[in-house]
Structure 1
Amino acid sequence: MTRVSVVIVFLMFSAGLFGCSIGGDTTGDGEYIDGTYTGTGQGYGGEIRVLVEIANGQIQSVNIEEHSESEEIADPALDQIPSAIVEEQSTDVDNVSGATATSEGIKDAVEDSLEEAR
């Protein structure tokens, strides 16, 4: 195999074109460092603070630590978005209808925490 072929195969492998990846991160944005990270995002009612636990390079849990959202409206997003992020190993999950700002705020807070974990 020529040097160029080896480089191309390595780049394809690194980009996940063979259906696999290097490291524990399944989002493709880089490997996460194990630990617990705090992040913040802007919801409809103010700042949303989350605690994200990373183990074995993957998102293990997302917990809402603090928020000022209207509970009746925001509860579905506060319940569903964190578990969807863990399940998908990504913040690219659907917003909860009727709680879009809260959904986006949670996802932004998780992204903020994942910046530290990279």
Structure 2
Amino acid sequence: MMDDKLNIPLIENNKPGAMRTEDEKKALMQRLKRVEGQVRGIQRMIEEDRYCVDILVQLSAINAALKKVGYHLLEDHTRGCVSHAVANGEGDEAINELMKVIQQFSK
């Protein structure tokens, strides 16, 4: 389904879909696969009764990596969906949604 005014794809709840290039998707997926590998590494560390501080350092690295992915998505959303909504006269709703997600993401 498409939004005819904005010429962007819509997903099932009539919210705009992402307009990521294949390269952007690939980069995000690579980052997430790296995080997935780090999580498996932590599972092994726990199974092997590794030193707690070493595990905590790895957890910190995972949190930082996920934050990077989140900030990238947040920037994409702001530059894409929010700017399109503002241009279409629906900025208040988009900005309110953006502020909620920023607050949630910042916890």
- How does the TM-score come out when normalised to structure 2? 0.29
Normalized per residue, the structure richer in strand is 1
Larger Rg: 2
Normalized per residue, the structure richer in helix is 2
Q: Which has the higher contact order (CA 8 A, sep 6+)?
A: 1
- How does the TM-score come out when normalised to structure 1? 0.27
